[in-house]
Chain A
Amino acid sequence: MSIDTTTAAKVAKLARIRVEDEDLPALAQDFNAILGFIEQLGELDVDDVEPMTSVTPMRLPRREDVVTDGGQQARILANAPDAREGFFAVPKVVE
């Protein structure tokens, strides 16, 4: 299948990456090259194969449902581009 610039723009939007209109044709072309490469997977019959969910056969470990860490507000905010009064600050979200 072929990706057009409308689809490329939609994917960019979903990924929250701004792509200027003039860059969309090149992006669509890259997508087509990569997806063309991936198409080979269609050659295989995988109807009876279980998809891999775990690289090594192991049960995920469990632990008590208790707080093990916390109380580190200053350290958590230390790298924020904008932090005020103990919070991450962002542009207005709701009008």
Chain B
Amino acid sequence: MTDLNALTIAEARDALRKGEVTSVELTEACLKAIEGADALGAVVHKTPEIARERAAAADARIKAGGAPSMCGIPVGIKDLFCTQGVASQAGSKILEGFRPEYESTVSAQLRDAGAVMLGKLNMDEFAMGSSNETSVYGNAVNPWRAEGSEAALTPGGSSGGSAAAVAADLCLGATGTDTGGSIRQPAAFTGTVGLKPTYGRCSRWGIVAFASSLDQAGPMTRTVRDAAIMGTAMMGHDRKDSTSADLPVPDFEAMLTGDIRGKVIGIPREYRMDGMPAEIETLWTQGAEMLKAAGAELRDITLPHTKYALPTYYVIAPAEASSNLARYDGVRYGYRATLKQGDGVTEMYEKTRAEGFGDEVKRRVMIGTYVLSAGFYDAYYNRARKVRALIKRDFETVFADGIDAILTPATPSAAFELGQEHVDPVEMYLNDVFTVTVNLAGLPGIAMPTGLDARGLPLGLQLIGRPWEEGELLNTAYALEQAAGFVAKPAKWW
């Protein structure tokens, strides 16, 4: 039998229900795997006591019968989610020592479904980054290595700890959040599945805010079925988030038939970028052929404003971040700088924020401040909101023309090496080129592994769905997963 920590959520659920395994056993296997994986830097706050207590409670609940699918399943929670009594730092020094008095809605829904929290997972500071290198804890490391190389690779970001933990079998699933690609890019870099739901599906309440009109939580798992199971548990209406959608959440797992005959898959020509590696191009073509072989119809489509998505994002996200991060002032929670005699409240703000925020966060807060400042608001922020409306309209047009889902590459490359010098901050932003349109338009998107590159590293494709139709999107992804038959795992070196 597979190691217990390497089971999928679906396998573990079935074994739990049959009484072949207990949640306590699953949990101990994961805790042991975590203990041996410090080199991955994935788990930044371990919570074994909470895990053991919840596992025992889950076993009792399963025994009583009628427990939900996530009951007894050990999961990791991204550090961005506030978890009651447990450090929740968003990867930042400025939230050092912060122990929330409350639980985020998403992690509370998982807890109430009986899921077992193993610990908090590494991430880029305030979810700002694509390599997990802006984290105050130091970066997480990708469990995958290129063949014949010992170079440490990024697990991607910002949900890099979540992706590394799922890929290395430290947990059965993990929560992630996605503002510009932060679930889907790390999933692609680690050979795992990452679902960003439609904006409004998962409550944002209790998740440390980065860019409120773009942020969305979602599951990170090893299979599409697991994403369906965990996603169902995470989504749902919440009165505490005014943008939360008051729509029923279907049982996504029950919608996985693998039958996509007659579905129309759009292939957007604007995603064929200059300088894109041939391997990504091939992967994309192969993915399209697999969907066609499964009975779908392929159609070339155009999303004409795609090239403006990244610049639009780099106005809107920093603008919203500068507003959201204004709350870190050294007064109510977290870090406060040591002050000199005679320092007033302004010095307290300025020193606290200078010492508490990392360079990338400071850069984005200041860019946001600039684009919102008097005289520039119309030229930058308002213009970006208008272009965002055009980007959304591109998608509405193709969906109105009968497109059911859109297939694109997930990332422009496989995982890259950690520790590279980035002279130009814009260079790192290009990682999100295929994912960021989805956040701007508020759509659901899923990244999944479909192949390996020449060096043996996983590569992923992305499917984009219609708003609120995660079920159909997951089913298309399920068909692609079956056709691709991706089973590779990283060789254990840690």
Chain A residues with a Cβ under 8 A of chain B: 3, 8, 11-12, 14-19, 27, 30-31, 33-35, 37-42, 44, 46, 49-53, 55-56, 58, 60-61, 63, 72, 75-76, 78-82, 88, 90-93
Contact flag A38-B315 (CB < 8 Å), given A46-B386, A79-B98: yes
Residue contact A15 to B365, C-beta cutoff 8 Å: yes
Kindly report which residue of chain B lies nearest to residue A51, judged by CB atoms.
B385
Main secondary structure of the interface of A (DSSP, over half): loop
Q: How far is the CA of A79 from the CA of B246 in the complex (A)?
A: 33
Q: How far is the CB of B369 from chain A (nearest CB, A)?
A: 4
Kindly report which residue of chain B lies nearest to residue A39, judged by CB atoms.
B311
Q: How far is the CA of A58 from the CA of B308 in the complex (A)?
A: 25
Residue contact A55 to B243, C-beta cutoff 8 Å: yes
15 new A-B contacts at CB < 8 Å, known A8-B366, A41-B384: A17-B350, A17-B366, A30-B425, A33-B425, A37-B314, A38-B314, A39-B311, A44-B305, A46-B386, A46-B390, A53-B385, A61-B239, A90-B331, A92-B344, A93-B344
Which listed residue, A50, A63, A80, A93, touches B386 by the CB 8 Å rule?
Answer: A50
Residue contact A81 to B336, C-beta cutoff 8 Å: yes
Residues in B neighbouring A39, C-beta threshold 8 A: 311
Q: How far is the CA of A90 from the CA of B331 in the complex (A)?
A: 7
Residues in B neighbouring A37, C-beta threshold 8 A: 310-311, 314, 426, 429
Residues in B neighbouring A46, C-beta threshold 8 A: 383, 386-387, 390
Residue contact B350 to A41, C-beta cutoff 8 Å: no
Q: How far is the CB of A81 from chain B (nearest CB, A)?
A: 4
The reply to whether the CB of B481 lies closer than 8 angstroms to some CB of chain A is: no
Residue contact B383 to A91, C-beta cutoff 8 Å: no
B173-200: CB near A (< 8 Å → 1, else 0) gives 0000000000000000000000000111
The reply to whether the CB of B68 lies closer than 8 angstroms to some CB of chain A is: no
- The total number of A-B Cβ pairs within 8 Å is 159
Interface residues on B, range: 35 or more
Residue contact B350 to A34, C-beta cutoff 8 Å: no
Q: How far is the CA of A35 from the CA of B370 in the complex (A)?
A: 10
> Of B31-39, B54-62, B351-359, which binds chain A?
B351-359
Contact flag A81-B331 (CB < 8 Å), given A61-B242, A91-B345: yes
A-B contacts, 19 of them at CB < 8 A, read A11-B370, A14-B369, A14-B373, A15-B353, A15-B366, A30-B425, A31-B366, A34-B425, A41-B387, A46-B390, A51-B385, A52-B388, A55-B243, A56-B200, A56-B467, A58-B245, A81-B336, A90-B348, A91-B345
Contact flag A33-B348 (CB < 8 Å), given A44-B390, A55-B442: no
Q: How far is the CA of A37 from the CA of B315 in the complex (A)?
A: 10
Q: How far is the CA of A1 from the CA of B357 in the complex (A)?
A: 27
Residues in A neighbouring B425, C-beta threshold 8 A: 30, 33-34
Residues in A neighbouring B363, C-beta threshold 8 A: 27, 30, 34
Contact flag A15-B380 (CB < 8 Å), given A51-B386, A56-B199, A79-B332: no
Residue contact A81 to B330, C-beta cutoff 8 Å: yes
Q: How far is the CB of A53 from chain B (nearest CB, A)?
A: 8
Residues in B neighbouring A60, C-beta threshold 8 A: 242
Residues in A neighbouring B308, C-beta threshold 8 A: 40-41, 44
Residue contact B353 to A44, C-beta cutoff 8 Å: no
Q: How far is the CA of A76 from the CA of B272 in the complex (A)?
A: 51
The reply to whether the CB of B271 lies closer than 8 angstroms to some CB of chain A is: no
Residues in A neighbouring B353, C-beta threshold 8 A: 15-18
Kindly report which residue of chain B lies nearest to residue A17, judged by CB atoms.
B353
Contact flag A79-B101 (CB < 8 Å), given A11-B366, A17-B353: yes
Q: How far is the CB of A7 from chain B (nearest CB, A)?
A: 8
The reply to whether the CB of B150 lies closer than 8 angstroms to some CB of chain A is: no
B419-452: CB near A (< 8 Å → 1, else 0) gives 0000011100100000000000110000000000
Q: How far is the CA of A16 from the CA of B369 in the complex (A)?
A: 10
The reply to whether the CB of B462 lies closer than 8 angstroms to some CB of chain A is: no
Residue contact A18 to B390, C-beta cutoff 8 Å: no
Residues in B neighbouring A44, C-beta threshold 8 A: 305, 308, 387, 390
Q: How far is the CB of A41 from chain B (nearest CB, A)?
A: 5
| 3 closest residue pairs by CB, A with B | A51-B385, A81-B336, A79-B333
Q: How far is the CA of A27 from the CA of B365 in the complex (A)?
A: 12
Residues in A neighbouring B346, C-beta threshold 8 A: 16
Interface centre among A8, A15, A82 (most CB of B within 10 A): A15
Q: How far is the CA of A8 from the CA of B369 in the complex (A)?
A: 11
The reply to whether the CB of B334 lies closer than 8 angstroms to some CB of chain A is: yes
Q: How far is the CB of A24 from chain B (nearest CB, A)?
A: 11
Contact flag A91-B311 (CB < 8 Å), given A15-B369, A46-B383: no
